[in-house]
Structure 1
Amino acid sequence: MHAILTMIIQRLGLGLITLIAVSFIMSVAIEFLPGDLAQEVLGQSATPETVAAFRAELGLDRAFHTRYFEWLGNVLTGDLGTSLANQREISELLGTRLYNTLFLASIAAAISVPIAITLGVLAALYRNSLYDRLVNIFTLSTISTPEFFVAYILILWFSVTVRIFPSISDIGPDLGFWEHVYRSMLPALTLTLVVIAHMMRMTRAAIINLLASPYIEMATLKGVPRRDVIIRHALPNALAPIINVVVLNLAYLIVGVVVVEVVFVYPGLGQLLVDSVSKRDMPVVQACCLVFAITYILLNLTADILSILSNPRLLHPR
């Protein structure tokens, strides 16, 4: 347990350094973007004097490093600041959007994780069979297909041809749970098709690698049925790599939703990030990137802890 606590403290320290580096890189990238927030808000008819006065009011006339370190100091004290575009508290903007993104990721995870693990186990059980080859063809096809293309295909099928789900996810705070699920189903299915292939292939590969282990060969020589060999002996020992790939894909479901949310006009954190970039609203962009980075770091740490708990030998690598 002491070794696990030491690892957690080390990872959290490295995570803090990573967060600061990510925020700095994003701030520099936004600074080089063309356009101006003051001009965007005031419109093309604004005079140069009006634009200059508005920039001074927003603090945009100060040096980049001054604004960045002031923002970083506020974040370290828990203050995310105020949006430059609409003067609203950033924490207020992030609250509902983050909930919507987590809700969408939860639906996609609830669908994709059990299906991916089941398909991976069956592919290992019936290795080199027609089923295994068909599943491999399907997964390679979905991995190779861009998210936005999958999204538009699903819209064509389920919104235009069959008309089961709405093509635009009109999400509001007054929706009930199942109505929220219904309107989020198409983006959730898009994310499911994107991540299920990776999880399934990694599950299959982890189990097949273990099938060459001596204890698996011994169980086979003793006459244990192949199904029991995989489910009772190989699968529990393959949990560490499976947990890693599942948790990393869960991180992708939260962090990588930008394209999907934009296609379906889903009011999540990814849509807020895109809108803020177009307005050059740097504090909101920095806050969104910070949330994404925190999510990814914490889920990576969770994957490491769960992997070690499932296989304590990982604490002592050879």
Structure 2
Amino acid sequence: MTIHPLSRFLLARTGLLAITLALASVIVFMACQILPGNIGRTLLGPLADARAVAAINHQLGTDRPLPVQYWDWLGHAVTGNFGTSLALRMPVAPLLIDALKQSASLAGLALVLIVPAGIGAGVCAALRANSLLDRIVVLGSVSLSIVPEFVTALAAIMLFGLRLGWFPVEGSPPDGAGFWTRIDYLLLPTLPLVLVYTGYIARMARAGTLEALNSDYTRTAVLKGLRARRVIVYHVLRNALIPTITVIATQIGYLLGGLVVIESLFHIQGLGNLILSAAKAHDFPVLEAAVMTMAVVYALSAAAGDLLHALLDPRTRRGIA
């Protein structure tokens, strides 16, 4: 029986995704095991009797062999049961869901601003290559991309939050806040991300557009007498934006879980901040669950990028599947 190339591509990517997540789970679990700290001592305090510490470790199963602990942890984790937080004495799953929602709100607003601005600037610069606009886009994108996020974040807080008072300096809106109030609280934390990633996406879009403009299929379309707008929309942009869209998909993972500095500066209780807090408190159940969730988000976003690339460029799935 002949399997469609796209089906073979999906099966291959699904298998690779499963292997990646399995390896990630082992690495996350083992990394948390070698961190300094003792769960029993964390729960009972530094002055607790050694026998009481040993008893609580035995009750929690942390004195069992590591392979047994790993299998038990993985079996519960795949069902959404990540145990109980040692620091907060509550289930980990609600903490994880709330943090993921906060990070998703920040990442979603950032993408809404970054994608059209980055692609638009890159395409316009490529269509006017070597012009003043092109030079401004290239210089601006490179300059903004090399500035660390915490620098632009601090500058944004001091200028737009404290001096001008345009935006709240915290990224967490009060309970019961409406949609536009939440957007207002997230605009200032989003600004550093927009400045960094818009330039990166613009450079990718510019490079892809320039390559498409100089390709044989574009020259053929021009020689056929097609109108310039049709050539640009149906031949240039359709092929030029494939790598850019793939890169955008792979950046979703970082925007959801890698914003520790931004979330800390703006007091956003997102996934990155949850990992930092759990590491400081030696809250191993929360730390394992949050880091594994970040690994899943990264893997899924990378797989989504590969799938988008395959859907937009059939040569990819024919060559790989």
TM-score by length of 2: 0.89
Q: Percent identity?
A: 37
Partner of 1:177: 179
- The equivalent position to 1:237 in structure 2, one of 233, 236, 239, is 239
Question: Which moved further from structure 2: 93-102 or 4-13?
Answer: 4-13
Structure 1 residue 184: deviation in Å?
1.3
Aligned residues, how many?
318
Cα pair distance change 1:51/1:141, threshold 3 Å: farther
2:302 pairs with 1:300: yes
Cα pair distance change 1:205/1:104, threshold 3 Å: same
Partner of 1:279: 281
Partner of 2:73: 71
Partner of 1:15: 17
Cα pair distance change 1:106/1:173, threshold 3 Å: same
Which digits, 9 at most, give the CA deviation of each residue in 1:205-259, with x for residues without a partner? 0111112212322444567676664344311122321211121222321132222
Query: Whole-Å Cα distance in 1 between the matches of residues 295 and 172 of structure 2?
Result: 27
Structure 1 residue 273: deviation in Å?
1.1
Partner of 1:257: 259
Query: Whole-Å Cα distance in 2 between the matches of residues 290 and 171 of structure 1?
Result: 27
Q: Contact 1:240/1:311 (CA < 8 Å) preserved in 2?
A: yes
Query: Whole-Å Cα distance in 2 between the matches of residues 161 and 228 of structure 1?
Result: 48
Q: Contact 1:82/1:89 (CA < 8 Å) preserved in 2?
A: yes
Q: Contact 1:125/1:227 (CA < 8 Å) preserved in 2?
A: no
Gaps of 5+ in 1: none
TM-score by length of 1: 0.90
Which digits, 9 at most, give the CA deviation of each residue in 1:109-159, with x for residues without a partner? 111000001001011011122221222122112221222122111111111
Query: Whole-Å Cα distance in 1 between the matches of residues 14 and 81 of structure 2?
Result: 20
Residue identity matched to 2:197: V
User: 2:291 aligns to what SS in structure 1?
Assistant: helix
Q: Contact 1:27/1:282 (CA < 8 Å) preserved in 2?
A: no
- The equivalent position to 1:117 in structure 2, one of 114, 119, 144, is 119
Structure 1 residue 42: deviation in Å?
4.2
Gaps of 5+ in 2: none
User: 2:21 aligns to what SS in structure 1?
Assistant: helix
Structure 1 residue 41: deviation in Å?
4.5
RMSD: 2.4
Partner of 2:141: 139
Partner of 1:100: 102
Q: Contact 1:98/1:268 (CA < 8 Å) preserved in 2?
A: yes
Cα pair distance change 1:20/1:115, threshold 3 Å: same
